[in-house]
Amino acid sequence: MAAVDVLLDVQGVTVNFGGNRAVDDVSLPVAQGSLTGLIGPNGAGKTTLFNVVSGLLSPSAGSIHLEGRNISKLSPNKRAHLGISRTFQRLELFTSLTVRENIQVAGEISRRMRGGYSHIQKETDRVIELIDLGDVADSEVTEIPTGLARVVEMGRALMNNPKVLLLDEPASGQTEEETREFGKLLLRLKEEGTTIFLVEHDMALVMSVCDKIHVLDFGKIIARGEAEEIQTMPEVLDAYLGSHEMI
């Protein structure tokens, strides 16, 4: 793969929590326009890596590059200005605001959203329609089910016109039917040109939408490849289930 095609590049990232090494020398390229998956058992260090990429956590070693530029020293908001958006595994919704306001305020915060108030309103309507939240748009975010709340977080992240969208377990809390629809939505976003970096436990979803999958276990990348390759790798099966059965 040519270097220019790498949009987001994680290079040699290590994170220590006290004496505990949560992420260990992880290097991971996310190609422009790809839908890249990151899987691994609970506690493997996936969310920690997302925190490093989005700037909420400083790594003990290593660096993060966006379009070839080293962004390791930048604050989270500056990274957002450059086009990194994310959702959170533990929901981080704005609970004093309605669903619509959650999405709208993201546009009002974002510097990548050009145009005035009416433009932001239009964009809000567009995103709400895109992610199909019209029915609950005026509800309080505390009143909607967790599965939908994750979609709201994604809509919020989309208002930043991201170059790369980091999704942290977006499908957990969704029904099977919702997850299938969600998979289609991810593919549509990818077609529109958004690069997506996905952490997910729902293997069916990951295997069906991701171009490339990285497997993290005890803070280390133990395997990477396309969906079919990953599913047959014995080390992945061991790490995941302790058995040779995956889905």
Partner 1 sequence: MADFLSFTVIGVAVGAIYAIAASGLVVTYATSGIFNFAHGAVGMFAAFLYWQFRWDWNFPAPLAIFLVIFVFCPIFGALLERFVMRGLQNTMEITKLVVPIALLLLLTGSASWIWGDPIPETLRRFFGPDKKITIGDTFISWHHIIVLIVAVLMAAGLYVVLYKMRIGVNMRAVVDNPELTQLNGGRPVLAASFSWMIGTALAGLAGVLIGSLQNAAINNLALTLLIVDAYAAAIFGKLRSLTLTFVGAIVVGLSISYWNWLSDTGQKWTWLSGFRISIPVVLLVIVLILLPHERLRGAVVSRFKERFSVPTIPKAALWAGVLVLFFAAAVPIAQRKPEALLSTGLAFGIIALSLVLLTGYGGELNLAPLTFAGIGAVVAYQFEVNITKGHINESLSIWGLLLAAAVCALVGAIIALPALRLRGLYQGLVTFGFAIFVTNMVFKQRRTLHFNLPWYGDGEDFEINIFTGGGLFVPRPNWFGIDFRISNSNYMVFLAVVFALIGLGLVALRRSTYGRRLAAMKDSPAASATLGMSLVKMKLSVFALSSAIAGVGGVLYAAQQGASDENSWVITASLPLVLLTVVAGVGYVSGAFAGGILTGVFFVMLGDVFLKLSVDYSAFEWLFTDVVKDFFIFVGPAFAAISLATSPAGFLNDMFDNYRPLTSRRGLPLLSAWVVFQGLFYLWRITDGIGTWTFMLVSLGVALLLPAIAQVIRPDLYIDAKTLKQRREELPLELVGVDRPITAQDVKQADAALQLPVGVSDNDGRS
Residues that bind partner 1 (CB under 8 A): 54-57, 75-77, 79-81, 84-86, 88, 90-97, 101, 104-106, 108-112, 117, 142, 146, 153, 156-157, 159-160
CA atoms within 13 Å, Cβ hemisphere of 160: 24
Would residue 18 be called left, alpha or beta, if left means φ above 0 and alpha means ψ between -120 and 50 degrees? left
Shorter beta-carbon distance to partner 1: residue 116 or 234: 116
Q: Name the minimum Å distance from CB 246 to partner 1.
A: 23
Shorter beta-carbon distance to partner 1: residue 70 or 175: 175
Shorter beta-carbon distance to partner 1: residue 27 or 75: 75
Q: How far apart are CA 54 and CA 46, in angstroms?
A: 13
Q: Name the minimum Å distance from CB 73 to partner 1.
A: 14
Q: Name the minimum Å distance from CB 238 to partner 1.
A: 28
Q: Burial letters for 181-218: b for 16+ Cβ neighbours within 10 Å, e otherwise?
A: ebbebbeebbeeebbbbbbbebbebbbebbebbbbbbe
Shorter beta-carbon distance to partner 1: residue 20 or 142: 142
Q: Name the minimum Å distance from CB 247 to partner 1.
A: 20
Token pair 């990285």 is found at 214
Q: How far apart are CA 2 and CA 16, in angstroms?
A: 32
